[in-house]
Structure 1
Amino acid sequence: MKFDETGFEGQEVKFEHIQHAANACGFVHGEQWDYERAMFDYKIVNQGDTYYVRVPIYSIKGDIPRKDTICRLMSPLLGKHYYPHGVEYAGETFPDSVVTKAKSKLDLLKHTLEQEV
């Protein structure tokens, strides 16, 4: 599921600001990055199923994870995790409580990022 209207898609921000705001909201920047792209993930467990709210970013000037790298935020995604295959985004029916939690976290991230910048 793609969230197209969170208000920070296309925003260009230093990596350190994104990282600080995301960490403050419970998002994790794990080991899934290269020098041009990264994801910040928030894990939701609901009735034994695991979901991830993912905020993808990509570098437009500099290399991730340097603090001064300028990154563009992309539309967040909600996916369901299937062991051992990974996260699926399309063709899923997400529980209302998971979608509500995801939207709430994205709103918090937007607000926190606005204060950071």
Structure 2
Amino acid sequence: MRLENTGIEKLRVDLNILDDLLPQFGLIRAGQWDYERVTYDRKIVIKDHVYYLRVQGYALEGDVGAHDAYIQLKVPILGKYYYPHGVEYGEDENFPKALVTRCQEILKEVYEQLEPLADQVPAETV
């Protein structure tokens, strides 16, 4: 499920800022990256169901592996984990209303913290 209109998808942020700030909201990068993309996940368990709030981005400039990149963030998504197949993010998934509301609240807080630090991308890369 795409979590639209959070404002996060409009932000361009230094990778090191993301790596410092997002874990404060439970969004962990761990091993989900390559040299051009990053993924931050927050695992949420409700009863017997596991969900993931995911914030993704791609490098506008630099190298993620070298911890020297400016990241364009994308529309955050919410997915449900199915053993053994993995996480499904489709619009056909049924997400509890309280979960969606909580994820929107988390993303609002993330946006409020990131927005003043965003767009620190050199003008020639925009």
TM-score over 0.5 for the alignment? yes
Give the distance between the partners of 1:32 and 1:97, measured in 2 at CA: 27
| Aligned amino acid, residue 11 of structure 1 | L
Structure label with greater radius of gyration: 2
* Matching of residue 35 in structure 1 with residue 25 in structure 2: no
Identity of aligned residues (%): 38
Offset of 1:115 from its aligned partner? 4.9
Give the distance between the partners of 1:14 and 1:68, measured in 2 at CA: 8
Match of 2:63? Answer: 63
Q: Give the 3-state SS of the residue equivalent to 2:52 in structure 1.
A: strand
Match of 2:121? Answer: none
What runs of 5+ residues in structure 2 fail to find an aligned partner? 119-126
63-72 vs 17-26, greater mean Cα deviation: 63-72
Q: Give the 3-state SS of the residue equivalent to 2:68 in structure 1.
A: coil
Match of 1:102? Answer: 103
Written as runs of structure 1 = structure 2, the 5 A alignment for 1:1-117 is 1-90=1-90, 91-117=92-118
TM-score using structure 2 length: 0.86
CA RMSD of aligned residues (A): 1.4
The answer as to whether partners of 2:13 and 2:117 remain within 8 angstroms in 1 is no
What runs of 5+ residues in structure 1 fail to find an aligned partner? none
| Alignment length (residue pairs) | 117
104-113 vs 84-93, greater mean Cα deviation: 104-113
| Aligned amino acid, residue 15 of structure 1 | L
TM-score using structure 1 length: 0.92
